Amino acid sequence: MSGRPDRFDLVVIGAGAAGLTAAGGAAMFGLRVALVEAGAMGGECLHTGCVPSKALIAAAARAHSGRQGGRLGVTLKPPDVDFAAVREHVAGAIAELAPADSQQRFEAMGVTVIHARARFLDPVTLQAGNHRLRAPRTVIATGSRPSLPPIEGLAEAGPLTNETLFDLATLPSHLLVLGSGPIGLEMAQAFRRLGSAVTVIDPGVPLARDDRDAANVVVKQLQAEGVRFVHDTAQRVERHPGVIVRCAGGEAIAGSHLLVATGRRANTEALDLAAAGVLEGADGIVVDGRRRTSNHRIHAIGDCRAGPRFTHLAGYEGALVAREVALGAPARMDWRALPRVTYTDPELAQAGLTEAEARDRHGDVTVTSEPFARNDRAVTEADTAGFLKLVHARGKVVGVTIVGAHAGELLLPWTQIIGGKASSFALMSAVVAYPTRSEISKAAAFAAWQPAIFGTWPRRWARAVAASRRWRA
C-alpha cells in the first residue's frame, strides 16, 4: 500500500454510463483523472441492462413476425427458436459495443483506470485497493442494483433479476414476472414471443407512471399475444420444483422461473459516505440541481443518486458535471424534456409531462391527439395502433406521449421543443419526407396551431384580401 496519496484533479468512482462520460469529458479538458471500478467497464447498461435486453427484444420480434399468419399477404413458416443462438446474439451485441467502454480506450484518453473497490477516508481522500487517491473533486457514479421486495420466501427461491436473466441456459417454460413497470413488461413480451408462457403479477396498474391511454394500448397488445396479468399482491414464494407465487387473493401461480422487476437501490454501502460528509436518503444520495452532494466537493450522478434512473440521463449528468469540474461553470440539470421509452411493441415514448402530471402542475391544459390510423406510412404497413398526444400549458408544449411502432425514434423534435430550443410552429411548417411516421409529429403540431391559424381574425383578414382583389379586378 502506497504511503503518500496519488494526486488527481478528479476521481470518478464507477465506470458505467455516468462515470465514463464524466471521466472521459474531464480528461478531454486536460484534467488528471482517475477512474475507479470494481467490476466490468461499461456498467449495468452494457452488461445486464439496455444492451442485452434490447438485443433479446430484437430476437423476439423476429420470432413474432413468423406467427403473423398471412399478414400483408405473406405467409411465413412458424419460427424455430434456438435459445442458445439467441443468447449468442445477445452476447455478440455486448461484445461489439464493449470497446467503446473499454479500459484501453479510456487510458488512451489519459484516464488512469484502477480496478478496485473504493471507499472514502475523508472528504478528499479515497482508498481503492492498494491505491490512496486524493483529489479536490470526486464524482460518485456507482449505479444501482435490483431490489427484492419483502416477500416471504422470495430470496430463498433464488429469483431472476436483470443481473441473471441473460445467463439463462434454457428458455423458461413459464416465466412469472413480479412487477409491471417498463422492465417487467419488456421482458414479459420478449419471452412470450420466444415461446414461454408468461404471467405478470402486480397489484397496481401496469406502467403506472405513464399516460393511461398509452399504457392501455401496450397492455392490450401483450394480452392479445398471450401474456396473462394477475392484479394481486404476492405474499409468499415457494420452490416446488420450479417456483410458486401465492397471492393475497388466494391464487397460487406455478411457474418454471421467477423474474423480479420491482425496483432498484443505489450501490453505496461500501463507500463509507459518512467519512466524506455525504448525505444519503431512502432513494439514494441526496443531490442539488447541480448534482452536488451535501459535501459540495463531491458530485453524485446516475443511478446512485435520488431521482429518475435512465442511461441517457446518466450520460447527460456526466457531461454537465465534467464541464462544471473542468471549467468552473455551474451546470444545472434541465429535466423539462427528459425522455423515456418502454421498448415493448408498440413502444411507449414520453418526453416532459404526461397529461395527468400537467393537470396536477398547471391545472388548465390543452390536449391534442393524432392517431397513427391517419398516418399513411402506418396504414401501408398495416400497423396503425397508437397515437401521438401533445399537452399544452400556457401556450407551450409541456409534454408529449407517443405510443406506436418506433415511437422512441419520434421523440427528438419534441425534446427540443419542450426544452425551448425549437418551436411546434416551426415543426408544423417543416417539409417532412413522405410517407414516414415522422409526419405524425407535423400533423399533431398543425392540429395544435390550427385554431389560431384559421381563427376569427385570420379568416377576416383572408376575406378582406379576397374582397380587395375582386375590387381591383
Residue 175 grid coordinates? 416465466
DSSP 354-420: -HHHHHHHHSS-EEEEEEGGG-HHHHHTT----EEEEEEETTEEEEEEEEETTGGGG-HHHHHHHTT
Q: How is residue 14 annotated by DSSP? A: -
Other residues' Cβ atoms within 10 Å of the Cβ of residue 310: 18
54 belongs to an annotated ligand binding site: yes
423 belongs to an annotated ligand binding site: no
144 belongs to an annotated ligand binding site: yes
142 belongs to an annotated ligand binding site: yes
179 belongs to an annotated ligand binding site: yes
53 belongs to an annotated ligand binding site: no
183 belongs to an annotated ligand binding site: yes
- Name the residue type at position 277: G
Secondary structure of 130-145 in the HEC alphabet? CEEEECCEEEECCCEE
Are the beta carbons of 464 and 450 closer than 8 angstroms?
no
The torsion angles phi and psi of 147, rounded to 5 degrees, stand at -115, 125
- Name the residue type at position 449: W
Q: How is residue 98 annotated by DSSP? A: G
Closest residue by Cα to residue 338 from 243, 416, 252: 416
The whole-angstrom separation of Cα 221 and Cα 93 is 27
Cβ neighbours of residue 86 closer than 8 Å, sequence gap 6 or more: 56, 59, 194
Other residues' Cβ atoms within 10 Å of the Cβ of residue 409: 13
438 belongs to an annotated ligand binding site: no
Are the beta carbons of 293 and 140 closer than 8 angstroms?
yes
- Name the residue type at position 344: T
| CB half-sphere exposure, 234, CA atoms < 13 A | 30
185 belongs to an annotated ligand binding site: yes
| Centroid of chain to Cα 175 | 23
186 belongs to an annotated ligand binding site: yes
The whole-angstrom separation of Cα 118 and Cα 19 is 14
The torsion angles phi and psi of 165, rounded to 5 degrees, stand at -60, -40
181 belongs to an annotated ligand binding site: yes
Q: How is residue 198 annotated by DSSP? A: E
Q: Is 366 exposed, middle or buried (0-12, 13-18, 19+ CB in 10 A)?
A: middle
Residue 259 grid coordinates? 423474474
94 belongs to an annotated ligand binding site: no
180 belongs to an annotated ligand binding site: yes
Q: Is 148 exposed, middle or buried (0-12, 13-18, 19+ CB in 10 A)?
A: middle
Residue 237 bridge partners (DSSP): 245
Residues annotated as binding site for FAD?
A: 54, 142-144, 303
Residues annotated as binding site for NAD(+)?
A: 179-186, 263
Residues annotated as binding site?
A: 54, 142-144, 179-186, 263, 303
